[in-house]
Amino acid sequence: MSEKKVSLLEGFKAFLMRGNVIDLAVAVVIGAAFTNIVNAVVKGIINPLVGAFGTQDLDNYSSCLQGPCTTDPKTGKMDGIEILWGSVLSATLSFLITAAVVYFLMVLPMAKYLARRAAAQAAKEGVQETIEVSELEVLKEIRDELVAQRTGGAPGPDSGEGPGGAGGSAAGPREDR
């Protein structure tokens, strides 16, 4: 039974030490701090700008759906159905600002970086492929020269006479014996 506890703890430790779990934890912490910044921008800059056309706070914008929206001063109870669309507008602005900053400052630069990295990798692979092809061509020319020296003639590059062909086999008879 103690073996299961040890293996469970080891498995949990391995899970926590995995790179993507730690990355996710860092992202959540940074996201929470970033949310505070965005909320401060919305409440300190956006709301007063919108408030220049009405109230100073978007949370004060509301409409009454049914009946007169009055609050009883004694009980604090609201008569009628009040729709607080200013709060929704404020949250929507916060979301849009957050999404724009994340996209333009994080996603877009990372996508450009990854595209440049992929292009460099593709170019590197293309150069490697060119080197391999040119090495193959050089080896074919060397083979053809060796065959030509052995047979005394010059076979064409596609004559079929090569190391395994009729003109010069490595295992065939040699002229210098």
As given in the structure block, the two tokens for residue 15 are 């899970």
Distance in angstroms (rounded) separating the CA atoms of residues 155 and 151: 9
pLDDT digits (tens, 9 = 90+) for 85-133: 888 888 888 788 878 877 888 888 888 999 999 888 888 877 777 777 7
Per cent of the chain over pLDDT 70 is 79
Distance in angstroms (rounded) separating the CA atoms of residues 16 and 13: 5
* Terminal CA-CA length for the chain: 79
Q: How confident is the model at residue 171 (pLDDT cuts 50, 70, 90)?
A: very low
Confirm whether pTM is higher than 0.95. Answer: no
Give the Cα-Cα-Cα angle 90, 36, 43 (nearest 5 degrees).
35
Bigger pLDDT: 111 vs 14: 111
pLDDT of residue 116: 92
pLDDT of residue 107: 83
φ/ψ of 104, rounded to 5, equals -75, -25
